[in-house]
Amino acid sequence: MGDEGAGSTVHLLCLAASSGVPLFCRSSCGGAPSRQQLPFSVIGSLNGVHMFGQNLDVQLNSARTEDTTVVLIVGLEELTNIRNVERLKKELRASYCLIDSFLGNSELIGDLTQCVDCVIPPEGSFMQETLSGFAEATGTAFVSLLVSGRVVAATEGWWRLGMPEAVLLPWLVGSLPPQAARDYPVYLPHGSPTVPHRLLTLTLLRGLELCLLCGPRPPLSQLDPQLLERWWQPLLEPLRACLPLGPRVLPEGFPLHSDILGLLLLHLDLRRCLFTVEPSRNKEPSPEQRRRLLRNFYTLVATTHFSPEPGPTEKEEDEAHPAQSPRACYLVLGPGEGWRLVALQLGLRLLLLMLSPQSPTHGLRSLATHTLQALTPFL
């Protein structure tokens, strides 16, 4: 599988490693899917490089050019035994939508952080109770309430889902075209890679969907409007209040410092995150730029200073005893505007903020600490 970007163009190329047959190739230009394809000679060379290295027990991971173009070559897991390439290609078409949404400019960040994008609902406990009751009534342990790909509330069972699928399921629901109800077969890469499960989705309000992950039972027909109405009618007002939470994540009136332009809070153990670029909407830069800045900042922070995976970090700390462990870092962008980016790790929580230029650098840490403390009860 190859992944490569040139300028703002991203190509995702999937090859069968053994035969070199291209399985699919998706491209996106500036966030939108594009028809532009890699020339065949390039595809051939990429495969050739991989094959050549493999014969000599050398695996090429990545290559960089001057404008930080990244080529990632990851050997495709040979798990899936490809019997018929053409049939596989057809089957893969079903996932184009999801793949394209990864290449595009999503509002979510779960792909990067491997944490589930969440929102903080008003009257969260009430909603949680209702969800649990509903799950019991339908006989499924895995139920969640999603608003545009972000989890509003979910049952204990849902939160116990393994890592790829916990991020992928909400992402998939968010990327599918709106429908009143779906019955969608899914494989769970971690929990059940070979046996498909059913993903049922029911739209409560436009953008607000109820998801159930289940086996053969219950059939979709059992989840009739009466059942939904009985459970969710009393919560109509809180549900309505959830709708704008899609991009905003934090409830109305949450006390956030006025300098904050963007926020990303991760809980490294629960693998959940809050991500928003909505505060002070009217100010520069645009939400799109803020999102990209925060994404880039997260990449920098995660690769150079804080390792998001607990495993390797401990190992490194063992080596560099006594622990010189990073706790916070900040970045002042320049030479122009001077937006500030600050990251702070406290225990299992990692907070990244984007701040306006008038925020003094020496106050960044206390500002981040206060914000983190304010957010701690929610995540």
Partner 1 sequence: MSGPAWRDSHGRPAEFPGDMSSQEEEEEGDCDAEASGLDSRSSASSDTDLEPEWLDSVQRNGELFYLELSEDEEESLLPETQTVNHVRFSEKEVIIEEDDTRERKKYEPKLKRFTKILKSKKLLPKRYHKKNSSDNGPVSILKHQSNQKTGVTVQQRYKDVTIYINPKKLTVIKAREQLKLLEVLVGIIHQTKWSWRRSGKQANGERLVVHGLSPGGSAMKSGQVLVGDVLVAVNDVDVTSENIERVLSCIPGPMQVKLTFENAYAVKKETAQPKKRKTQSSTNDLVKLLCGSETDSIQHGILDTPHITMYLTLQIQSEVSKEEQEILYHYPVSEASQKLKSVRGIFLTLCDMLESVTGTQVTSSSLHLNGKQIHVAFLKESDKLLLIGLPAEEVPLPQLRNMIEDTAQTLKFMYGSLDSAFCQVENTPHLDHFFSLFFQRALQPDKLHLSASLSAQQYDAASAVLLDSLPGVRWLTLPQELKVELDTVLSDLEAADFEELSEDYYDMRRLYTILGSSLFYKGYLVCSHLPKDDIVEIAAYCRQYCLLPLAAKQRIGQLIIWREVFPQHHLQPPADSDTEVFQEPKGRYFLLIVGLRHYMLSVLLEAGGCTSKATGNPGPDCIYVDQARTTLHQLEGIDSRIEERLASSPGLCLSCADWFLAAPHEKADNLTTSPILNRLQGSTKTVTSPTCRRTFFSDYSFKTRKPSPSRSSGGYEPGEGGEGVVPSPHTTPAAVRKQRESNGSEDSMALLKLARKKSTLPNPFHLGNSKKELSDKELEVYNTMKLTSGPENTLFHYVALETVQGIFITPTHEEVAQLGGSVHAQLIKNFHQCCLSIRAIFQQTLKEENRKVLRGEDHSESADSMSSLTAVKEHGVLFECSPENWTDQKKTPPVMAYWVVGRLFLHPKPQELYVCFHDSVTEIAIEMAFKLFFGLTL
In the complex with partner 1, which residue's Cβ is closer, 72 or 98? Answer: 72
Which of the ranges 56-64, 213-221, 239-247, 249-257 carries the binding residues for partner 1, by CB under 8 A?
Answer: 56-64
Round to whole Å and give the CA distance between 174 and 161.
18
Q: How far is the CB of 6 from partner 1 (least distance, A)?
A: 5
In the complex with partner 1, which residue's Cβ is closer, 69 or 128? Answer: 69
In the complex with partner 1, which residue's Cβ is closer, 89 or 257? Answer: 257
* Exposure string over 100-127, b if 16+ CB within 10 A, otherwise e: bbbbeebbbbbebbbbbbbbbbeebeeb
When binding is defined by CB under 8 A, the residue of 78, 237, 288, 314 that contacts partner 1 is: 288
When binding is defined by CB under 8 A, the residue of 63, 85, 205, 236 that contacts partner 1 is: 63
In the complex with partner 1, which residue's Cβ is closer, 155 or 345? Answer: 345
Round to whole Å and give the CA distance between 54 and 58.
5
Site for partner 1 in 292-321 (CB under 8 A): 292-293, 296-297, 300, 304-305, 320-321
Q: Which residue has the tokens 């996106």?
A: 28
In the complex with partner 1, which residue's Cβ is closer, 9 or 192? Answer: 9
Nearest to 333 by CA among 342, 324, 346: 342
Q: Sign of the CA dihedral 106, 109, 114, 118?
A: negative
Residue 361 in the binding site for partner 1 (CB under 8 A): yes
Site for partner 1 in 186-205 (CB under 8 A): none
Q: How far is the CB of 148 from partner 1 (least distance, A)?
A: 22
Containing 94, the helix (H) or strand (E) segment is none
Given a contact cutoff of 8 angstroms between Cβ atoms, the answer to whether 161 and 189 are in contact is no
In the complex with partner 1, which residue's Cβ is closer, 17 or 188? Answer: 17
Pairing of strands 116-118, 70-73: unpaired
Residue 357 in the binding site for partner 1 (CB under 8 A): no
Pairing of strands 272-276, 116-118: parallel
Round to whole Å and give the CA distance between 117 and 265.
10
Residue 65 in the binding site for partner 1 (CB under 8 A): yes
Site for partner 1 in 16-55 (CB under 8 A): 38-39, 42, 45-46, 48-49, 52-53
When binding is defined by CB under 8 A, the residue of 285, 287, 313, 376 that contacts partner 1 is: 285
Q: How far is the CB of 354 from partner 1 (least distance, A)?
A: 11
Q: Which residue has the tokens 């070199």?
A: 20
When binding is defined by CB under 8 A, the residue of 57, 86, 224, 252 that contacts partner 1 is: 57
Round to whole Å and give the CA distance between 104 and 102.
5
* Exposure string over 301-336, b if 16+ CB within 10 A, otherwise e: bbeeebbbeeeebeeeeeeeeeeeeeebbbbeeeee
Per-residue contact track with partner 1, 321 to 340, x per CB under 8 A?
xxxxxxxxxxxxxxxxxx--
Q: What angle do CA 282, 283, 286 make, to 5 degrees?
A: 90
Residue 347 in the binding site for partner 1 (CB under 8 A): no
Q: How far is the CB of 285 from partner 1 (least distance, A)?
A: 6
Round to whole Å and give the CA distance between 149 and 186.
16
- Point out which residues bind partner 1 (CB under 8 A): 4, 6, 8, 38-39, 42, 45-46, 48-49, 52-53, 56-69, 71, 285, 288-289, 292-293, 296-297, 300, 304-305, 320-338, 361-363, 365
